[in-house]
Amino acid sequence: MAELSFYSAAGNRFAVLDCFERLPADPAALALELCRRHGLDGLLLGARPTQGGACRMLVYNRDGSRAEACGNGLRALARWGLESGHVGPEHGFTIETDVGPRQVTCFLRRNQVQAVATELGVPRLVAREERIALSAGEVTATLVDMGNPHCIVFVPDVARAEVASVGSELEHHARFPLRTNVSFVERAGARLLVRTWERGVGETAACGTGIGASAAAALSAGLVRAPVEVGTRGGRLSVDWDGQGVLRLTGPVEALPVA
């Protein structure tokens, strides 16, 4: 097997497989095995670029399914790309993804990557007040497309949100034929608190595109101002968006010991 590296992006845990020489024969099965063995949220394949970027990212969830986009995965892969030498000495470069090229920037302290910022594309608000019937009642959600689908539910107390039960039911709801990610969002003064049930994964310590979608929903509703700090179980991140252009996510990335 090619070289494996492990990273935590605000608590979102990934294995990164160096695929510059070749892709694995069955990446879905490999993702299932690695995530089960190491308690990870997903497998990232770092591959040769095909459209002029510095490298290419392919994402496999914990259940072996493919994800179109992954914000924290992008940030983890950016650190890997810089430290592996695949992207040269530049601290800013482009990663190719299934939803298009994404510009990333690594911030260093004492020659070590401390944080990574990434563009997540232009959010698309699909619906602002979508009423969705569930087994225990009805929820009102904001639906946001970040290149992958997100269902945002605002709650008064995110710590008490029924993330597992409601998140799982929404993920598999008939309204979302391709399933969806579900974020529960609390406005706490000028910042947001977010918990996310990720499609194909379950609840994670943080979800990059979920954080971006949550911020986009809150900013578009006038609940907070940009840049907005977002608290998750895995750490604090920052989202900047002007309401029209590209949304930008910044947060920590840590290298984990090779298991």
Q: Which residues are catalytic?
A: 70, 207
Structure-token pair, residue 28: 């879905």
Determine the residue type at 147: G
Pick left, alpha or beta for residue 86 (phi over 0 → left; psi -120 to 50 → alpha; otherwise beta).
alpha
Residue ranges of alpha helices (H) inside the chain are 27-38, 71-84, 163-171, 208-220
Structure-token pair, residue 91: 């601290």
Pick left, alpha or beta for residue 223 (phi over 0 → left; psi -120 to 50 → alpha; otherwise beta).
alpha
- Give the largest Cα separation in the chain, rounded: 54
